[in-house]
Structure 1
Amino acid sequence: MTQHSFPVRIYYEDTDFSGNVYHAAYLKFFERGRTEFLRDEGIHHSELAAQGIAFAVRSMELQFDGAAHIDDLLTVTTEVATISGARLTLRQAILRDQTVLTRANVVVVAIKTAGGPARMPREILARFAAKA
């Protein structure tokens, strides 16, 4: 599958006392990348919520390979690794130019907004099955 790319600019609020991006800020960047990836695929959180479905992060494995700094322009990449009836596994990376700074493997599950697990909507399964 072709990687989806989303640009992120680093602001002062994203950094810590050392001038590096604070580690938890990367979670926000990955979330934005996943949301824009889904949006570009025609999947909108508000439409899923109207159907009583939401996505929740089940697990995330992170690797920090380098640091980002104020004013850096980064790229968040997202691609489907695997999909099943209730889980979508995504590979993500944050890069500065061509240098990978942070990597993540993210397992997202479908849940009912009223509580409890849900099956992945059929249209999502169909869309991503060929891309995994």
Structure 2
Amino acid sequence: MTDAPPWGSAWPDLSGRVLAEGHVLPVRVYFEDTDFSGASYHASYLRWCERGRSDFLRLLGVHHNKLADGSLTGEPSVFAVRRLKAEFLRAARIDDELEVHTAYGSFTKATITLTQHIVRGSERVFELEVQCVLLSMTGRVLRLPPALVDMLTRG
């Protein structure tokens, strides 16, 4: 589905919700997310956090296709992960209902650092600090345009 129906989004929470403290994305653990022991495979946590970051940006108006066509930054660009700091605290298991929480950390001229954590109810199972850099399509580091920073910080 590319267009929302006239009465609003068919799936209003598909991208989670932006709250005062950041963004929350619900996630369910499926069989494909687990390893032979029944616990979530370590890369699953990173995928869930990527979805949280992407949906957070999308809800703030920073769409990947608008970055790619240059309409947000003046030239085709993309965010790329520069650094990750991950803490695996508890195992998530099949059918668990999780929430991915995403919030701002800090900004530099070319990077944004986000803090993320995944919870199961009130129990924190994973923490991540991720620094993303804005790159041109040729791989050159770009400054974050003021208009883009405004979009990111008004959420």
Task: State the TM bucket, normalised to the shorter chain.
Answer: over 0.9
Residue matched to 2:136: 112
In structure 2, C-alpha distance between the alignment counterparts of 1:84 and 1:14, rounded to whole Å: 34
Spell out structure 1 runs of 4+ moving beyond 6 A. Answer: none
Residue matched to 2:34: 15
Q: 1:93 pairs with 109, 114, 117, which one?
A: 117
In structure 1, C-alpha distance between the alignment counterparts of 2:153 and 2:40, rounded to whole Å: 35
- Counterpart amino acid of residue 24 in structure 1: A
Q: Does structure 1 retain, via aligned residues, the 8 Å contact 2:102–2:115?
A: yes
TM-score when normalising by structure 1? 0.94
Q: Identity of aligned pairs, percent?
A: 40
In structure 2, C-alpha distance between the alignment counterparts of 1:38 and 1:123, rounded to whole Å: 14
Cα deviation, 1:88-131, whole Å, max 9, x if unaligned, reads 00000011011110000000000001221111132222234577
RMSD: 1.4
- Counterpart amino acid of residue 117 in structure 1: V
- Counterpart amino acid of residue 55 in structure 2: E
1:38, CA displacement in angstroms?
Answer: 0.3
Unaligned ranges ≥5, structure 2: 1-19, 71-75
* Higher RCO (CA-CA < 8 Å; seq separation 6+): 1
Q: Does structure 2 retain, via aligned residues, the 8 Å contact 1:85–1:125?
A: no
In structure 2, C-alpha distance between the alignment counterparts of 1:57 and 1:72, rounded to whole Å: 27
Matched, 1:5 2:24: yes
In structure 1, C-alpha distance between the alignment counterparts of 2:95 and 2:145, rounded to whole Å: 39
TM-score when normalising by structure 2? 0.80
When the two structures are aligned, how many residues end up with a matched partner? 131
Unaligned ranges ≥5, structure 1: none
Cα deviation, 1:50-88, whole Å, max 9, x if unaligned, reads 011100000000001101000011000000111121000
- Counterpart amino acid of residue 56 in structure 2: F
Residue matched to 1:57: 81
